[in-house]
């Protein structure tokens, strides 16, 4: 007799964002692991920075077009800002193995937070 309706207060799960974030996280982990042994000149790493920035830009734009995805957008923007900080340090020859070892856990924590949020969205879609 009574009816109700579901109200979505957060974004729907997006499998493309999930896959791209996973791929990007893997690339960043591999690169940072390499850098923990030796920091190459910035010229050798432009491809990495360009690819990372392009993927983050695409994900930010994509999620800005998905209703209620503000949280995902904010998380991606913060990750992008931190990648820019690392690139700037690299350009100024201030990126060292010690710096990488210090910032790697924080960058990985950002990716893990994004992944955890996406997994929660995926789980909530299955239960609805």
Q: Grade residue 10 by pLDDT with cuts at 50, 70 and 90.
A: confident
Rounded to whole angstroms, the Cα distance separating 106 from 12 reads 26
Rounded to whole angstroms, the Cα distance separating 124 from 86 reads 35
Residue 91: per-residue pLDDT? 98
| Average of per-residue pLDDT across 13-21 | 97
Q: Grade residue 98 by pLDDT with cuts at 50, 70 and 90.
A: very high
DSSP string, 53-74: HHHHHHHHHHHHTSTT-HHHHH
User: Does 125 score more than 90 pLDDT?
Assistant: no
Tell which residue, 29, 32, 22, has the closest CA to residue 89: 32
User: Does 69 score more than 60 pLDDT?
Assistant: yes
The pTM for the full model equals 0.88
Residue 84: per-residue pLDDT? 98
């Amino acid at each position: 007799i009574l009816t109700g309706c579901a109200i979505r207060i957060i974004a729907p799960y997006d499998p493309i964002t999930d896959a791209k974030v996973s791929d990007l996280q893997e690339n960043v982990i591999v690169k940072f692991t390499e850098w923990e042994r030796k920091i190459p000149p910035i010229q050798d790493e432009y491809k990495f920075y360009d690819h990372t920035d392009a993927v983050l830009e695409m994900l930010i734009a994509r999620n800005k077009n998905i209703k209620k995805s503000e949280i995902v957008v904010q998380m991606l923007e913060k990750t992008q800002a931190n990648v820019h900080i690392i690139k700037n340090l690299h350009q100024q020859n201030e990126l060292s193995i010690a710096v990488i070892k210090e910032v790697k856990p924080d960058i990985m924590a950002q990716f893990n937070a994004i992944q955890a949020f996406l997994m929660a969205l995926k789980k909530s879609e299955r239960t609805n």
